[in-house]
Homo-oligomer: A and B are copies of this chain.
Amino acid sequence: MSSIGFVGLGIMGKPMALNLIRGGHKLFLYSRSGVPQELTAAGGSACDSAKAVAQQADIVIIMVPDTPDVEKVLFAANGIAEGLSKGKLVIDMSSISPLATKDYARCVNELGCDYLDAPVSGGEVGAKNAALTIMVGGPQGAFDRAKPIFELMGKNITLVGGNGDGQTCKVANQIIVALNIEAAAEALLFAAKAGADPAKVRQALMGGFAASRVLEVHGERMIKRTFDPGFRIELHQKDLALALSGARSLGVSLPNTATAQELFNACVAHGGAKWDHSAMVRALEQLANHEVGKSVD
């Protein structure tokens, strides 16, 4: 069993670390807001800095909110880089900028260590049930080394390409999920305002080319008006911001991603930062002065 470090023990990191402890690994833990007692009770060792984690573990996993947070835990004073020595492996499972990731990987490689970007989807439920989808970028050898660890946290585990490609894949995932939500919202709202029953429309569409996981899960939420997260709009906004700033840097036009972000912005203006992302439909409902699920007579 490897000795594993885990930096960032929030809503996602805590259950992921717990699954690694249960899988028989020795864990060294650090989190800005302190190490949860549940993890030390299960056998994990609390450390007083990210540097200390990296000194004691062979493999260091990062799970923090955003690009600047990853930069900080890696390269600030008492950060991971100060504790690394040759042959160790850094795995960033946060969802952050693909472009910044390539820089971070290069800096870590210069210390004689491998780097994997390995963002996940599946949310808190997927983290607890060890059912995350894990999209990995980095060298094959490092992926092979990390795979048994990934298998304690997730199910669909793919080496997409080199460093940065895991994060690129995650951004692509968030683009599609947002735009499929927007598509379901336009279609169900059109149907509702035309006087049809959106629940029956959704049912009929699930059998054909319109079928998607989003129409199944988020479409049902729009009809049943269950907008408790799930996945919060403010988090999806962060991901679409990565898509849109990446698109600007790369020279790609993402017109519908831009519109979806504006609709999320409108939800936030109505107090919806913590609504489930399927509540994007509410922004279109405002414009149409009509709700999915209320039929016209």
Chain A positions within 8 Å of B, measured between CB atoms, are 98-99, 121-122, 133, 135, 137, 155-156, 158-162, 164-165, 168-169, 171-173, 175-177, 179-180, 182-184, 186-191, 193-197, 200-201, 203-205, 207-215, 217, 243, 246-247, 250-257, 259-260, 263, 284, 287-290
Asked if A196 meets B169 with Cβ closer than 8 Å, knowing A175-B187, A179-B182, A183-B175, the reply is yes
| Chain B residues closer than 8 Å to A190, beta-carbon distance | 168, 171-172, 175, 243, 246-247, 250, 252, 254
Choice from B175, B213, B255 contacting A211 with Cβ under 8 Å: B213
Distance in Å from the Cβ of A166 to the closest Cβ of chain B? Answer: 9
> Copy number of this protein in the oligomer?
2
Q: Are A156 and B191 interface neighbours, CB within 8 A? A: no
5 pairs of A and B residues whose beta carbons are closest in the complex: A156-B207, A179-B183, A212-B212, A172-B187, A158-B204
A216 to chain B, nearest CB (A): 10
Partner of A161, one of B135, B180, B189, B196: B196
A256 is contacted by which of B161, B182, B211 (Cβ under 8 Å)?
B182
A244 → chain B, closest Cβ, in Å? 10
Which of chain B's residues have a CB closer than 8 A to the CB of A255?
A: 186, 259, 263
Whether the Cβ atoms of B254 and A210 lie closer than 8 Å is: no
Known: A200-B160, A212-B211, A217-B209. A179 touches B168 (CB 8 A): no
Cβ–Cβ contact B173 & A252, under 8 A: no
Closest chain-B Cβ to A232's Cβ sits at a distance in Å of 14
* Contact between B175 and A186, CB atoms less than 8 A apart: yes
Contacts of A257 in B (CB 8 A): 186
A252/B290 in contact, CB under 8 A: yes
Contact of A259 among B158, B160, B171, B259 (CB under 8 A): B259
- Taking a contact as CB atoms under 8 Å apart, the answer to whether B196 and A160 are in contact is yes
Are B160 and A204 in contact (CB-based, < 8 A)?
A: yes
CB distance from A92 to the nearest CB of B (A): 16
A194 and B164 form a contact (CB under 8 A): yes
**A135 pairs with B247, CB closer than 8 A:** no
Please give the distance in Å from A189's CB to the nearest CB on chain B: 6
- Alpha-carbon gap, A290 to B214, bound state (A): 28
B164 adjacent to A195 (CB under 8 Å): yes
What B residues does A98 contact at CB under 8 A?
194
- Find chain B residues with CB under 8 A from A284 CB: 252-253
With A183-B183, A200-B160, A251-B193 as contacts: A176 and B210 at CB distance below 8 Å: yes
Instruction: Known contacts A180-B183, A208-B213; decide if A203 and B165 are in contact (CB<8 Å).
Output: no
* Contact across chains for A287 and B253 when beta carbons are under 8 A apart: yes
Contacts of A176 in B (CB 8 A): 183-184, 186-187, 205, 210, 212, 215
Q: B122, B133, B186, B194: which contacts A204 (Cβ < 8 A)?
A: B133
Minimum CB–CB distance from A240 to chain B (whole Å) comes to: 11
Q: Which residues of B contact A210 (CB under 8 A)?
A: 172-173, 176-177, 180, 213-214
